[in-house]
Chain A
Amino acid sequence: MGETVLPGNRILSVTEMTVYIRSILENDRLLQNVWVRGEISDFRYYQKSGHMYFNLKDETASVACVMFRTRAKSVDFKPGDGLKVIARGYISVFEKYGRYQFYVEEMEPDGLGSLFLSLAQLKERLEKEGLFDQRRKRPIPRFVNCLGVVTSSDGAALRDIIRVVRQRHSGCHIVVAPAAVQGPEAPDEIARSLDALNEWGQPDVIIVGRGGGSLEDLWAFNTEKVVKAIARSRIPVISAVGHEIDFSLADLAADVRAATPTQAAQMAVPDMLAYQEQLTATGLRLRRIMERSCNQRWAQLDYLRERRIWKKPQSLFEPYRRELQHTLQGLQHHMMNILNARSSSLKQLAVTLDAISPLKVLERGYAIARTEDGDVVRSIEQVKPNSLLNLTVRNGEIKAEVREIRRGDWCDEF
């Protein structure tokens, strides 16, 4: 039981069976020299060996192809993904993997690949709608606490993202909105998950993408549905379609393009280790500033305490005292001047007074005559005969009677 018995009642080894299949293919006349039309995808060229590996495909089928160095040299155009070609060669089996392959001996371009053409047309249309405008690009927040991820829930992309986020910022909340990233459902699922994260609204940034793959594997990221979902996201989007060489349309619509999911995660979350270092340094600075500031103030206080004023407070009044003394001296000096001036003028007055004193006149023998009314007699009209006069002489008074009045002849008035 369980053993597969092939015709001939013999049990074959895998090698025997593979060799048998190969001999059938290699004996088919058509398959040993056939022209095939198809589109190149997953093109790989190895510098060292000079061999080319790729798939040829159309809408429904795909065949693995190899073109060895000796044949590859004759190709006079640059083969690449999306290019439609006509190739001639033979079919055989790559025994190690039990895979039939198309061994290409000759290859010519067959116009622009139709998938490629429609991609170019879609790109042009969306570009006109402004979905790829640089002005639409938003910066990724510097500090992300909640990261939305739209990708396959069992893909390597998600594993890479979780690993990198954990390394850089372990506290970051990762919210996965799962979506198939290839196959016919992929565009709808990716768009729906992007919208869901936006409706939920918590993520600071969203990564949408998948790990590397052939051009057709990445096709969902070149569909209008996905591009428009990215463009209408209110939350900044990082695209991570693992495809280093070419841009997908999703890349063009995203706010930032990362080459791989790993790189996207690095862009999305800050390296908290760096923050930790910065924070530690900042804390040290803060403490140092305060220490320095306190020390400076202590030093100022010490300096003030050492000032002479506290030891000899009287020196505070010294200038005032000196000025007061000075003022007083000035005042005294001034006063003396005034007094001196006054006393000398007084002396002068005394001399004058002495000179004009009537006593001096009386001393020379004159007398002052006054009527009884006390009027000084200056004229004969003031007196009458028999009236009394008071005569004042140097050492007393004489009461006299007028006997005769006679006009003096020295008087010419009459």
Chain B
Amino acid sequence: MSFEQDFNRLQEIVRQLEEGDLPLEKSLELFQEGISLFRRCQEELNRAEGKISELIKSLDQGWETIPFERDGGGREPE
């Protein structure tokens, strides 16, 4: 599941719970799902800085990525 799917599902769960009228077991189930979705989204948001790569042709004529080198590592010089 992507972050977006997780995030949307989480919103949906909160909406359902807020509307109420759910049996206790069902709402506990949703609550647990919501908490684990929340944790997953949080992890995704806290994920370390993503890579910067360069796309190059691989030996088997497919494509592969290598770390992008520019001005010493592709990081923004201030």
CB–CB A174/B51 < 8 A: yes
CB–CB A285/B14 < 8 A: yes
CB–CB A297/B53 < 8 A: no
29 contacts between A and B (CB under 8 A): A141-B4, A148-B55, A153-B68, A162-B74, A166-B49, A169-B50, A170-B49, A171-B45, A171-B48, A171-B50, A173-B50, A174-B53, A175-B54, A176-B54, A176-B55, A176-B68, A193-B55, A197-B55, A200-B65, A272-B45, A275-B41, A278-B7, A279-B7, A279-B38, A279-B41, A286-B13, A286-B38, A289-B17, A297-B24
CB–CB A171/B44 < 8 A: yes
CB–CB B45/A286 < 8 A: no
Task: Decide yes or no whether A231 CB sits under 8 A from chain B.
Answer: no
CB–CB A283/B55 < 8 A: no
Q: Which residue of A lies closest to B44 (CB)?
A: A171
- The CA of A239 and the CA of B45, in the complex, are separated in Å by 27
CB–CB B74/A283 < 8 A: no
**Known A-B contacts A170-B50, A286-B17; A143 and B74 likewise in contact (beta carbons under 8 Å):** no
Interface residues on A, range: 35 or more
Minimum CB–CB distance for B3 against chain A, Å: 5
CB–CB B48/A162 < 8 A: no
Task: Decide yes or no whether B60 CB sits under 8 A from chain A.
Answer: no
CB–CB A158/B70 < 8 A: yes
CB–CB A175/B27 < 8 A: no
- List B residues 28-78 near A (Cβ within 8 Å): 31, 34-35, 38, 41-42, 44-45, 47-55, 57, 62-63, 65, 68, 70-71, 74, 76
Task: Decide yes or no whether A142 CB sits under 8 A from chain B.
Answer: yes
A residues at B contact (CB < 8 Å) = 141-143, 145, 148, 153-154, 158-159, 162-163, 166, 169-178, 193, 196-197, 199-200, 272, 275-276, 278-279, 282-283, 285-286, 289-290, 293, 297
**Known A-B contacts A154-B70, A285-B18, A286-B34; A176 and B42 likewise in contact (beta carbons under 8 Å):** no
Residues of B within 8 A of A158 (CB): 70
Minimum CB–CB distance for A298 against chain B, Å: 12
CB–CB B54/A153 < 8 A: yes
**Known A-B contacts A145-B3, A175-B65, A200-B55; A166 and B76 likewise in contact (beta carbons under 8 Å):** yes
Residues of A within 8 A of B44 (CB): 171
Closest 10 CB pairs of A and B: A143-B4, A171-B47, A200-B63, A173-B50, A289-B17, A177-B55, A170-B49, A174-B52, A171-B50, A172-B50
Residues of A within 8 A of B42 (CB): 279, 283
